[in-house]
């Protein structure tokens, strides 16, 4: 990411929330996003995210599919019923076509299998937050 883009992100204070039960994924993704100038919130579960109060401030959501308690797909469904317009990017170690199709059909920007490319994720975040629609349709 060039210096101009980095400074723009810092000035805009765009918040990316990461919801994943895998601490190593949360930490690595947080480091990547902070290096790109984003503010980052991390949550070990969908319930922790919902209870945190971060929902209203979140500009983009990076969401695991399978987690204890509420799944990522269930959280997406809840947000859709509340007419949330937060772009969602799914990441999962359990990539199956049914979950991928459900996520994309329900409005997800993209759906990545872990491990994923940091550069591709950053590009997808920029697309998602610019309002240009879905990448993985």
Instruction: Please tell me the distance from the alpha carbon of residue 17 to that of residue 2, in angstroms, as a whole number.
Output: 23
Which band of pLDDT confidence, cut at 50, 70 and 90, is reported for residue 131?
confident
Name the pTM for this structure: 0.86
Kindly report, residue by residue over 25-70, the tens digit of the pLDDT: 999 999 999 999 999 999 999 999 999 999 999 999 999 999 999 9
**What is the model's pLDDT at position 132?**
53
**For residue 70, with 0-12 CB atoms within 10 Å meaning exposed, 13-18 middle and 19 or more buried, which class applies?**
middle
3 pLDDT higher than 70? no
> What is the pLDDT averaged over residues 120-129?
94
4 pLDDT higher than 50? no
98 pLDDT higher than 60? yes
> What is the pLDDT averaged over residues 98-125?
95
**What is the model's pLDDT at position 13?**
74
Cβ neighbours around 117 below 10 Å, total: 10
Domains for the chain: give ranges and CATH numbers.
Answer: 3-130 (3.40.50.2300)
Q: Please give the mean pLDDT across all residues of the chain.
A: 88
């Amino acid at each position: 990411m060039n210096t101009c883009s980095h400074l723009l992100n810092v000035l805009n204070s765009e918040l990316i929330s990461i919801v994943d039960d895998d601490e190593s994924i949360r930490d690595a993704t947080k480091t990547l996003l902070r290096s790109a100038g984003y503010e980052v919130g991390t949550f070990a579960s969908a319930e922790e995210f919902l209870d945190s109060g971060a929902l209203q401030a979140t500009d983009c959501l990076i969401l695991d599919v399978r987690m204890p308690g509420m799944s990522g797909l269930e959280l997406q469904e809840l947000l859709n019923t509340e007419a949330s317009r937060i772009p969602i990017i799914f990441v999962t170690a359990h990539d199956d076509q049914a979950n991928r199709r459900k996520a994309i059909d329900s409005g997800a920007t993209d759906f990545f299998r872990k491990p994923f490319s940091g550069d591709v994720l950053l590009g997808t975040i920029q697309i998602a937050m610019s309002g240009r629609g879905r990448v993985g349709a």
